[in-house]
């Protein structure tokens, strides 16, 4: 059976497991037997009569970097909220190392580093005070905190501003403080929701390389971004969403390469556009150009 056939069977096995509790061994064998650090099983979320997410299943193992891609309204933020314990699924389960996160949410969050899309910070605190607060909540020893915080602040060019109030920070500076806070306690799982938002070119390059190194060191990483170039450069696996449902999933090779891949020989950007937006970006651009260049009569 070809690679694409194996992928389809593996996906079917995961669906059986998520929906009916039937655990097939093939998926585990294909992934080298590693237990997923994070697993979503048939996640569904409704708000009244509106279904924001429907039957979303995936897993992330040590060293894997999963990119979650989809247009606005695809359900990315809702999924992230369920994965971080900020929202309760209407149906389905989130598991950390094989156990539902609800059994000990505190222990789960201790192993989680989270960078939200829109950081909600205390503007009256300085950057250093905010990191101190995070370290205290995580039970980080003070001497270890100081050593790590100083190195991270220096690496992301925030050390000279560490005693300035966060209220005076730029968007990029706030983002860098949140990234440092997420990494302070060496978490096993990282959930990064558009982590490059507001970063300058140098900080974005440093963070991109750092994320790759963290995955290479065995961390499990979920990365959400609207910028496909970032996803293509960073991720080992990809999950495409449209209207709250999974429309395609697989490794980057399966998603973007050759006749055996899901992209059918098309480049990743084109295929993602077709699967999620169901539109041809080139044709839309041509129509807009025609409208722009049209002369009035």
Whether the per-residue pLDDT at 245 is higher than 60: the answer is yes
In a domain, 52, yes or no: yes
- 91-96 and 38-47: which strand pairing? antiparallel
**Weakest-pLDDT range from 10-24, 38-52, 264-278:** 10-24
Q: What is the pLDDT of residue 167?
A: 95
Report the candidate in 237, 242, 244 with the shortest Cα–Cα distance to residue 268: 237
In a domain, 79, yes or no: yes
Whether the per-residue pLDDT at 26 is higher than 60: the answer is no
Apex 43 CA angle, 41 and 46, nearest 5: 165
Task: Say what the alpha-carbon torsion angle 106, 111, 115, 116 is, to the nearest 10 degrees.
Answer: -30
Whether the per-residue pLDDT at 22 is higher than 80: the answer is no
In this prediction, residue 18 has a pLDDT band, given cuts at 50, 70 and 90, of very low
Angle between helices 171-183 and 127-137 (to 10 degrees): 30
In this prediction, residue 111 has a pLDDT band, given cuts at 50, 70 and 90, of very high
Q: What is the pLDDT of residue 230?
A: 78
Residue whose structure tokens are 């909600």: 120
DSSP-derived secondary structure letter, 209: H
Q: What is the pLDDT of residue 56?
A: 95
Whether the per-residue pLDDT at 40 is higher than 50: the answer is yes
Q: What is the pLDDT of residue 269?
A: 59
Q: What pLDDT digit, counting tens, does each position of 52-99 carry? A: 999 999 999 999 999 998 888 888 999 999 999 999 999 999 999 999
More confident residue, 290 or 30: 290
More confident residue, 254 or 265: 254
How many domains does the chain contain in total?
A: 1
Q: What is the pLDDT of residue 278?
A: 55
Residues 140/152, Cβ–Cβ less than 8 Å: no
In this prediction, residue 270 has a pLDDT band, given cuts at 50, 70 and 90, of low
**Weakest-pLDDT range from 113-117, 164-168, 273-277:** 273-277
Computed over every residue of the chain, the mean pLDDT equals 81
Q: Percentage of the chain with pLDDT > 90? A: 54
Report the first-to-last Cα separation within the chain, whole angstroms: 62
In a domain, 143, yes or no: no
* Residue range of the domain that includes 87: 32-111+187-293
In a domain, 24, yes or no: no
More confident residue, 244 or 26: 244
Whether the per-residue pLDDT at 126 is higher than 80: the answer is yes
Overall residue count recorded for the chain in this entry: 297
Residues 260/2, Cβ–Cβ less than 8 Å: yes
Residues 6+ apart with CB under 8 A from 258: 265
Residue whose structure tokens are 């192993």: 111
In a domain, 41, yes or no: yes
Q: What pLDDT digit, counting tens, does each position of 129-157 carry? A: 999 999 999 999 999 999 999 999 999 99
In a domain, 11, yes or no: no
Q: State residue 243 phi and psi, 5-degree precision.
A: 50, 40
In a domain, 171, yes or no: no
Average pLDDT over residues 286-293: 71
Q: What strands lie across the sheet with 99-100, from one edge to the other?
A: 50-60, 38-47, 91-96, 99-100
Q: What strands lie across the sheet with 220-224, from one edge to the other?
A: 112-115, 189-193, 220-224, 65-69, 237-242, 245-251
Q: What pLDDT digit, counting tens, does each position of 177-205 carry? A: 999 999 999 999 999 998 888 888 888 88
Average pLDDT over residues 252-262: 59
Provide the CA 287 distance to its chain's centre, in angstroms.
33
Q: What is the pLDDT of residue 268?
A: 60
Q: What pLDDT digit, counting tens, does each position of 209-223 carry? A: 999 999 999 999 999
Q: State residue 251 phi and psi, 5-degree precision.
A: -70, 165
In a domain, 191, yes or no: yes
Average pLDDT over residues 224-242: 85
Tokens of 229: 């170039």
In this prediction, residue 265 has a pLDDT band, given cuts at 50, 70 and 90, of very low
244: domain CATH number? Answer: 3.40.50.300
Query: What is the DSSP secondary-structure string of 90-119?
Result: SEEEEEETTEEGGGGHHHHHHTEEEE-SS-
Q: How many other C-beta atoms can be found within 10 angstroms of the C-beta atom of residue 37?
A: 24
């Amino acid at each position: 059976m070809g690679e694409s056939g194996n992928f389809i069977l593996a996906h079917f096995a995961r669906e059986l497991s998520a929906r009916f509790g039937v655990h097939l061994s093939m998926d585990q064998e294909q992934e080298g037997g590693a237990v997923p650090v994070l697993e979503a099983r048939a996640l569904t979320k409704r708000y009244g009569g509106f279904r924001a997410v429907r039957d979303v299943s995936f897993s992330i193992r040590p060293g894997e970097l999963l990119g979650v891609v989809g247009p606005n309204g695809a359900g990315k933020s809702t999924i992230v909220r369920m994965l971080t314990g900020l929202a309760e699924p209407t149906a389905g389960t989130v598991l950390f190392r094989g156990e539902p996160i609800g059994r000990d949410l505190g222990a789960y969050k201790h192993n989680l580093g989270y960078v939200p899309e829109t950081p909600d910070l205390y503007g009256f605190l300085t950057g250093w005070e905010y990191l101190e607060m995070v370290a205290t909540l995580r039970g980080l020893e003070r001497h270890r905190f100081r050593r790590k915080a100083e190195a991270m602040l220096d690496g992301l060019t925030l050390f000279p501003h560490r005693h300035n109030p966060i209220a005076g920070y730029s968007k990029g500076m706030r983002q860098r403080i949140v990234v440092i806070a997420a990494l302070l306690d060496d978490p096993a799982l990282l959930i990064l929701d558009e982590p490059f938002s507001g970063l300058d070119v140098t900080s974005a390059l440093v963070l991109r390389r750092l994320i790759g190194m963290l995955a290479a060191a065995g961390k499990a990483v979920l990365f959400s971004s609207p910028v496909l170039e970032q996803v293509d450069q960073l991720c080992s696996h990809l999950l495409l969403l449209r209207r709250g449902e999974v429309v395609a999933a697989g490794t980057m090779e399966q998603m973007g390469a050759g006749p055996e891949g899901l992209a059918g020989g098309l480049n990743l950007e084109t295929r993602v556009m077709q699967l999620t937006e169901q539109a041809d970006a080139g044709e839309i651009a041509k129509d807009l150009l025609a409208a722009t260049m049209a002369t009035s009569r």
